[in-house]
Amino acid sequence: RKKIGVLTSGGDAPGMNACVRAVVRYGITKGCDIFAIYEGYQGLVDGGSFIKKMEWKDVRGWLAVGGTSIGTARCMPFKTREGRLQAAQNLISNGIDALIVCGGDGSLTGADVFRSEWPGLLKELKENGRVSQEECDKFQHLTIVGLVGSIDNDMSSTDITIGAVTSLHRICESVDSISSTALSHSRAFVVEVMGRHCGWLALMAGIATGADFVFIPERPPSEDDWEQVMCDVAQRHRHLGKRKTVIIVAEGAIDKNLNAIKADYIKDILTDKLGLDTRVTTLGHTQRGGSPAAYDRILATIQSVEAVEAVLRATPDSPSPLIGTSNNKITCGPLMKAVELTHAVAEAISQKNFARAMELRDPQFAD
Ligand code: ADP
């Protein structure tokens, strides 16, 4: 019987529970034993009760639950070899030789590091008498399959990440609520949204709510006097009869010299230049919470089914796969290629090559 571990890691995302549920249930139907690893890599390092065999009933009702019920954590020990050595021992003692990891690029990089080190870890455990020769022979390879759980939609090689659509919807609801009060008082609102170094949530929220102006990291305003340009746009909309002004700022927004653009700075400009009664709203963690949208439940379910299939067909020589989505089809491509492309976006931004950043991020929105 194939024994597969499943864990959620990094920032929580709505839909992670649907992943775990689908891995557990599809895995069981394929004759596998599925183990939930609680608290991300921390549970892998700590072992014991953090690694639990899952039954069909254990994930009942999980589709509708936000966050991740098996917990997630940022785990420093897993970044060290000693931590990964302990993690390897815990996997072997539970008989697990395959891991499905649902997380962001950091978590997936960690998984790939773990797999590439596996033969060395095994050797060291054997030399230290922590595993037997028989176990060494049995657990020669570690299979890793990645699923991208991230509200930011910041992973290359996939159109959409698990949790992003729910978060976007939450942002839209919040901006709609703000709009009522903005309209009543004829106010301006500067809304800061999450996304780390990715502008997807801000850009899509801008389109979905009809914001006046959006600031994202991948395409900073090109004008030296962008403050004036923004004011002109807001003013023009006001002259057309609009009673509210909504500016959406990604938390990673920058100007073309890579300086952060902060919501408070924009507020001061709108107040000083246009005399608008302006408020700042930082949406914060409400963006991550709540029940997953139907789309995220479905995406997580069908990607997780594919993840189990990918485990079952993996060979020792094939690179670790990442399950993604492209043109509405589930994809299965090399995990580290996707991580490298994701890092290339940050690299392009740091070199002020914004056209390249946009193209890498999403060709659909490139010039
Ligand atoms: P995300 O997966 O959302 O990008 P992080 O970057 O915080 O989040 O990564 C989550 C966890 O993954 C880290 O706390 C650490 O345990 C593990 N991790 C990240 N990068 C590495 C790495 N290069 N090597 C080993 N483990 C890593």
Q: What is the mean pLDDT of the chain?
A: 95
pTM of the model: 0.95
Return the pLDDT at 359.
86
Please return the burial class of 47, using the count of CB atoms within 10 Å of its CB with bins 0-12, 13-18 and 19+.
middle
Catalytic residue numbers read 152
The b/e string for 266-283 (b: 16+ C-beta within 10 A; e otherwise) is bbebbeeebebebbbbeb
Ligand 1: which of 46, 72, 74 to mutate, judged by most atoms within 8 Å of the beta carbon?
74
- In ligand 1, the atom with minimum distance to the C-alpha of 114 is 25
Distance of CA 111 from the midpoint of ligand 1 (Å): 9
Distance of CA 90 from the midpoint of ligand 1 (Å): 19
Return the pLDDT at 366.
54
Q: Report DSSP state, residue 218.
A: S
Return the pLDDT at 289.
83
Return the pLDDT at 363.
63
Token pair, residue 167, equals 């978060």
Return the pLDDT at 312.
97
Q: Reduce the DSSP state of residue 155 to 3 states and report it.
A: coil
Residues 6+ apart with CB under 8 A from 269: 227, 230, 231
**Residue nearest to ligand 1 atom 5, measured at CA:** 106
In this model, does residue 5 exceed pLDDT 70? yes
- In ligand 1, the atom with minimum distance to the C-alpha of 78 is 16
Confidence tier at 361 by pLDDT (50, 70, 90): confident
